Structure 1
Amino acid sequence: MKLYIVPGSPNCRKVQAVVHELPVPVETVIVDFAAGAHKSRDYLAINPNGLVPSLVDGDLRLWESNAIMQYLADAHDAISLFPRDPRRRIDVVRWQCWELSHFGRALGVVLFERLFKPLMGGQPDEALAQRALEQLQPYAALLDAHVKERAFVAGDAVTLADYSLGCQLPMAALGRINLAPYPNLRAWLARLDEREAWRATAMPAAMAQAIEQATAAHRSGDGGS
């Protein structure tokens, strides 16, 4: 089994966290985005979108991070991460869908404009980032209220929903996103940080430093602070 990733990618991290929970070896293959490896003929045969992550398991070629997470959990009986009970299971799926359609989409725009675009040498669109930040606020408030009365998103134990919703949030400070108004969300993230699989898949320090330097250079060039 092979998992194709780019180190530091939030969508890759949530899959990697699941891999760390499993008692089965998975070979990690680094896709060199800078060299255009994600657009190579060989990689497009695995993932025609030219994105990461992707999973190869025998003759199965699987892409979309949440689908990969669900497949891995089911294939290796990780029922604590992805319960078999229909109501508990659909609750996990519901939050993963919400992450993709609402919370993660808004958060991703802010982080792309403020972090990843400068890292790739692009010019950030701060107006777009601000609009996405406004969209994010009610979603963050919803999640904050939800985790007030429970340890994790779908109950008292970590599930796929936590890894999906948490994958971008560690970059909030770098992206100048203020989480102070959401104390329950921050407490939930702290509980997630206690998980070995989560700590083991954190963004490499060198990449975080490169992002910080790139964004600082852009803010300095624009006269920002």
Structure 2
Amino acid sequence: MVEETEAPRSAGPIDQPHPPPHLTYPLPLPLHLLHRKGAAVRLHCLFSRDPERGHFPIPSRPIPSHPRRRDRKKKVRGRCGVRRDEMAPVKLYGATLSWNVTRCVAALEEAGVEYELVPINFSTGEHKSPDHLARNPFGQVPALQDGDLYVFESRAICKYACRKNKPELLKEGDIKESAMVDVWLEVEAHQYTAALSPILFECLIHPMLGGATDQKVIDDNLVKIKNVLAVYEARLTKSKYLAGDFLSLADLNHASVTLCLAATPYASLFDAYPHVKAWWTDLLTRPSVQKVAALMKP
């Protein structure tokens, strides 16, 4: 579920790498998982307008993020999907159809963390089990376990992974650069995703659950996201990435929700913002973002 193919060259000297052929638009959508021929899928999920709770519905039988293996404890991915036959030092609990879970995947992959992705079965109430409530007392996903430490809330997980394994993604050694990373992390959460997630709910989630799409909600939030993208466009005329001329977690945190946009009728939204489109096209070339896209494929 990605955006469109290439960004047109603008007048400015911006870098516009081409995405790999397998990431040209449109990608297979995770929605296809819920419409397999002859499948009667019961949808059990927790939905909220809170961006930390929004996620795709989870079928009654959990969808494995890998070909099924009997010993899940050995299902370990290292940097950008390398798998090793050993116990994972880090476990990420959730489902690959959740944009909050895959937000964490992008950060873990970019930081080179070895981890195991452990599915949570919402249909059986596993998210409210004592074991999972010990990981996340709100009974939500994602949750991360690193030894005896449990971290929940997707953006906190992302920051923890970077701070421990690749602090340059937070620029914590430079007070000014780290401040800009923090600014754009906040913008992603409270401006970009806050405007985009209601559109995803109305276009994707509500129809899956048999509900009617509220076009007014879509229209209102299209105005909001276009205003946000205008700010992004101005920013990206001055630097290659949001916090500066360096990749940071602020950029990566946009990946999961933006990949979902291509499943909506508004997949061409970035066309009017050439620097934004070039920035997104560049992100699509990163193995960490490609991993997220692959996890969202049926």
1:18-33 equivalences under 5 Å are 18-33=107-122
CA distance in 1, matches of 2:120, 2:182: 28
Could you tell me which runs of 5 or more consecutive residues in structure 2 were left unpaired when the two chains were aligned. Answer: 1-89
The share of aligned pairs that are identical, in percent, is 32
Q: CA deviation at 1:59?
A: 2.5
- Does the CA contact (< 8 Å) of 1:80 and 1:157 recur in 2? no
User: What is the letter of the counterpart of residue 93 of structure 1?
Assistant: D
CA distance in 2, matches of 1:79, 1:32: 33
Q: Normalised by the size of structure 2, how large is the TM-score?
A: 0.64
Q: Normalised by the size of structure 1, how large is the TM-score?
A: 0.83
Structure number with bigger Rg? 2
Match of 1:193 in 2: 284
The structure showing larger relative contact order (alpha-carbon pairs under 8 Å, at least 6 residues apart) is 2
CA distance in 2, matches of 1:95, 1:73: 16
Could you tell me which runs of 5 or more consecutive residues in structure 1 were left unpaired when the two chains were aligned. Answer: 207-225
- For the structure 1 residues 140 and 69, does the alpha-carbon distance in structure 2 shift closer, same or farther, using more than 3 Å as the test? same
CA distance in 1, matches of 2:206, 2:272: 27
Q: CA deviation at 1:142?
A: 0.7
Q: CA deviation at 1:35?
A: 4.2
- Does the CA contact (< 8 Å) of 2:106 and 2:255 recur in 1? no
1:108-147 equivalences under 5 Å are 108-147=197-236
- Does the CA contact (< 8 Å) of 2:106 and 2:253 recur in 1? no
C-alpha root-mean-square deviation of aligned residues, in Å? 1.8
State yes or no: 1:182 paired with 2:270. Answer: no
Match of 2:6 in 1: none
State yes or no: 1:79 paired with 2:79. Answer: no
Q: CA deviation at 1:204?
A: 2.3
Match of 1:212 in 2: none
CA distance in 1, matches of 2:230, 2:248: 21
- Does the CA contact (< 8 Å) of 2:255 and 2:289 recur in 1? no
CA distance in 2, matches of 1:37, 1:123: 29
CA distance in 1, matches of 2:239, 2:97: 28
- SS of structure 2 residue aligned to 1:28: strand
User: What is the letter of the counterpart of residue 79 of structure 1?
Assistant: P
Match of 2:296 in 1: 204
